[in-house]
Chains A and B, each alone.
Chain A
């Protein structure tokens, strides 16, 4: 049976997360109460039967390493295969490679050693709950060189601007890859390619001093490659900025959307913690919100997402806000349209109000 290995390539991700990505790689930005962005591609790969997964990461990866650990939470702590976290090697004086090609160059062995003949490559900013069995079968069936996973958007949103658009014929053969903003056929950044072809294209890119594998290896070779497109169906979101992050998190407060993302298909896995169940005290007033374990609530919480270990004391109100792990909202605080990063302390009586378009963001470790 043909197998795929996974590659999560964080080298060319978009970084408009401001305060949220000051101290962390955008792949480890917390989302939906207890997850991080990388949990989605990682779980989707594992749920597709993939058990060899490499991660290309260049910078700010302390929190990512801490989160991924041995990969045990995704069942990736294996004797054979498992998780390979691959930062670049800085100490090779003969190295002329750039961009993500530097990673391919330094970690060629990892690809050679993996048992799979195909590679599923993905970023971290396409959020969905799916598996790739069907896409892989399609790739093999069409005998394609490359299969690009794409979506068809009913409504073009600002975050879509940053992604390639696909023009394909009726049989799904890709004719053109453009930046045409009105084209609703969007490339998700996820694609399937054989390992052999991948390494050949990598060598060629390196020989010509290129720096962006997808751009120079695939898009520029569209004429000579057989490229298919496979339509992704089902709930998804592109998250690549503070505004798209805020909007899509709050969208999860619709029960139907929430169930679509988390309950219809597989389990999205993440690092678990030892927090006790959420505690609701006598004055708790919680409406239309998502709360994680370890929260202690004695105040008012409305249309909000509370991560693990958040405390909302009595008299406090939290509205349309996202409060990350272990932050404390003291007595009589009022928060509206606010994103609060981890380990923040909002002192008694404070009032912070942002807008739906531009939420007020408080970075990690602050006392306000």
Chain B
């Protein structure tokens, strides 16, 4: 028996990330010069001593499955428990895709039952934060709650963009409002739910029979539990938390890592973020190079100027090139005298000498890959 196991929702498509998720599940999108988005939640589980985790995948799962493999980077290669990848499956009575977050858990009730846990932590693999889930569990036990939802204070003017929890003084939740026009509180749900398993199981089975339900935690399960007057509590989280759901927020979250006062510390030795490590040689910074306020991974060769940027492994920056406020994924080769500002370059793209791509300070970052560059070259060629 396990006291608490984790269920990590990683099947989302992440439409608003555009090209980045065209062939990749959102949790597998590269982040922070070395990681994939899901590494943050997986590492949180590992660092919180939750070593039994089911990862629910559905959309474009290949890279994600390969990345997780046997869970070794997160110390989850265990005989007892460990990480299990849970994709939709067929059985004697047929099978179905996961039709919602709650349905994904519902379909895996047998998986959870085999560990006979007292509590189940439901989290999603597309948020960037460092959090000790044991503290959430402690509060859940102390309040004898049925559900505890982690919340973060957001600025009032942005509150209408979030799922807002209205609570009384001791954080007992009496109302949940999805993107309210006139928010009554600024406590936003972080999409982190801790359930007492018996209670959740009951509601999942009940919800599964409701034909009109969208089988979603936020839209169906939580409102139903509130209607039945269960004990739902909010857990206050103080620290860095970011939903990297859009290109703008993905870019911002990467840029946040470069700030000295960023609350999220990749260098925090007590709370390491783990990932699959590559075996590239160290980075080589040439005589004429300038690198400031940046994160650079192994295997890079820098000859130009890199300012406020995040470079993944094995990136070349040619002489005379200027890379500013950009995110360069692995294996990208940037020629000489290029200028990139506020650009996200996808894996293994080769950028020819003299290429200039700049986005205004207030513009949305642009994503490029080899195909985009070639189409662009065609258009430019046609004009001249």
Report whether A287 and B287 are in contact in the complex, using a CB–CB cutoff of 8 Å: yes
| CB neighbours of A258 from chain B (8 A) | 281, 284
Q: Does A288 contact B (CB under 8 A)?
A: yes
Whether B121 sits at the interface, judged by CB under 8 Å, is: no
**CB-nearest residue of chain B relative to A286?**
B285
Q: A255-B301, A284-B291 are in contact. Are A276 and B34 (CB under 8 A)?
A: yes
A278 to B285, CA, bound (A): 12
Whether B266 sits at the interface, judged by CB under 8 Å, is yes
**B278:A272 contact, CB within 8 angstroms:** yes
- Give A273's nearest chain B residue, CB to CB: B277
The answer to whether B295 touches A276, judged by C-beta atoms less than 8 angstroms apart, is: yes
Whether A282 lies near B278 (C-beta < 8 A) is: no
Can you name the residue of chain A whose Cβ is closest to the Cβ of B312?
A277
Whether B287 lies near A268 (C-beta < 8 A) is no
Interface 1/0 per residue, A259-281 and B, CB below 8 Å = 00011000111101110111111
* B19-27, B89-97, B229-237, B267-275: which lies at the interface: B267-275
Does B14 reach chain A (CB closer than 8 Å)? no
Say whether A286 contacts B289, CB under 8 Å.
Answer: yes
- List, in ascending order, chain A residues with CB within 8 A of B194's CB: none
For B295, give its contact among A32, A263, A277, A286 (CB under 8 Å).
A277
Residue of B nearest to A297 (CB): B291
B294 (CB) vs chain A CBs: closest residue: A280
Taking CB atoms, residues of chain B closer than 8 Å to A286 are 285, 289, 291
Residues of chain A contacted by B293 (CB below 8 angstroms)? 280-282, 284
Complexed CA–CA distance, A281 and B308 (Å): 9
- Asked if A284 and B267 make an inter-chain contact with CB atoms under 8 angstroms apart, the answer reads no
* In contact, B279 and A269 (Cβ under 8 angstroms): yes
Whether A276 contacts B282 by the Cβ 8 Å rule is no
Q: Are A272 and B34 closer than 8 Å at their CB atoms?
A: no
Q: Which partner residue on chain A sits nearest B260 by CB separation?
A: A281
A276 lies within 8 A of B277 (CB): no
Q: Are A274 and B260 in contact (CB under 8 A)?
A: no
Tell me if B37 is interfacial: C-beta within 8 Å of chain A.
Answer: no
The reply to whether B266 and A276 form a contact with Cβ atoms under 8 Å apart is yes
Q: Which of B249-288 contact A (CB under 8 A)?
A: 260, 266-267, 272-275, 277-288
Interface check B33, CB cutoff 8 A:
yes
Asked whether, in the complex, the Cβ of A291 is within 8 Å of the Cβ of B283, the reply is: yes
Contact residues of B between 284 and 309, Cβ < 8 Å to A: 284-298, 301, 306
Which of B260, B290, B295 interacts with A278 by CB under 8 Å? B295
Q: Name the interface residues of A270-313: CB closer than 8 Å to any CB of B.
A: 270, 272-274, 276-294, 296, 305-306
Contacts of A283 in B (CB 8 A): 292
Given A278-B283, A292-B298, residue A287 in contact with residue B289 (CB < 8 A): yes
**Contact at A280–B279, with CB atoms within 8 Å?**
no
Q: How far is the CB of A75 from the nearest CB of chain B, in Å?
A: 11
Specify which chain A residues have a CB less than 8 angstroms from the CB of B281 in the assembled complex: 32-34, 258, 262-263, 268
A282–B297 Cα distance when bound, in Å, is 18
Beta-carbon contact of A290 and B279 below 8 Å: no
A230 contacts the other chain (Cβ, under 8 Å)?
no
Contacts A272-B279, A286-B291, A293-B297; A277 near B32 (Cβ below 8 A): yes
Contact with B along A339-365 (1 / 0, CB 8 A): 000000000000000000000000000
Indicate whether B128 reaches chain A with its CB closer than 8 angstroms. Answer: no
Q: Which residues of A contact B279 (CB under 8 A)?
A: 73, 267-270, 272
User: Is B343 positioned at the interface, with any CB of A under 8 Å from its CB?
Assistant: no
Contacts of B288 in A (CB 8 A): 287
Q: Which chain B residues lie closer than 8 Å to A291 at the CB level? A: 282-283, 285, 296
A285 partner residues in chain B, CB cutoff 8 A: 290
Residue in B273, B286, B290, B296 whose beta carbon sits within 8 Å of that of A255 in the complex: B286
Q: A255-B301, A272-B277, A277-B33 are in contact. Are A290 and B292 (CB under 8 A)?
A: no
Partner of A274, one of B272, B296, B310, B312: B272
Within 8 A of B (CB), among A127-169: none
| Given A33-B282, A274-B274: A294 in contact with B291 (beta carbons within 8 A) | no
Q: Which of A32, A255, A289, A293 has the most CB of B within 10 A?
A: A293
CA distance A272 to B32 in the complex (A): 18
Contact of B287 among A279, A282, A284, A288 (CB under 8 A): A288
Q: Which residue of B lies closest to A289 (CB)?
A: B285
State how many angstroms separate the Cβ of B254 from the closest Cβ of chain A. Answer: 11
A258 to B284, CA, bound (A): 9
In the assembly, what is the distance between CA of A292 and CA of B278, in Å?
Answer: 12
What residues of A have a CB within 8 angstroms of the CB of B312 in the complex?
A: 277
The answer to the question of B311 belonging to the interface, with a C-beta cut-off of 8 Å to chain A, is: yes
Hey, what's the 0/1 contact readout for A105-135 against B, CB within 8 Å counting as 1?
0000000000000000000000000000000
Q: Is the CB of B282 within 8 A of A32?
A: yes
User: Which one, B275, B282, B289, B310, contacts A290 given CB within 8 A?
Assistant: B282
Q: Given A279-B295, A280-B296, A292-B298, are A255 and B284 neighbors across the interface (CB < 8 Å)?
A: yes
Residues of A with Cβ closer than 8 Å to B? Answer: 32-34, 73, 255, 258, 262-263, 267-270, 272-274, 276-294, 296, 305-306
Nearest 4 CB-CB pairings of A with B = A272-B277, A276-B266, A33-B282, A277-B33
A and B contact pairs by CB, cutoff 8 A, 30 listed = A32-B281, A33-B282, A34-B281, A268-B279, A272-B277, A274-B272, A274-B275, A276-B32, A276-B34, A276-B267, A276-B295, A277-B34, A277-B266, A277-B310, A277-B311, A279-B266, A279-B294, A284-B292, A286-B285, A286-B291, A287-B286, A287-B287, A287-B289, A289-B285, A290-B283, A291-B282, A291-B296, A292-B298, A293-B297, A293-B298
Contacts A281-B260, A288-B285 known; 5 new A-B pairs at CB < 8 A: A32-B282, A279-B267, A288-B287, A289-B284, A290-B283
User: Which residues of B line the A interface, CB within 8 A?
Assistant: 32-34, 73, 260, 266-267, 272-275, 277-298, 301, 306, 310-312
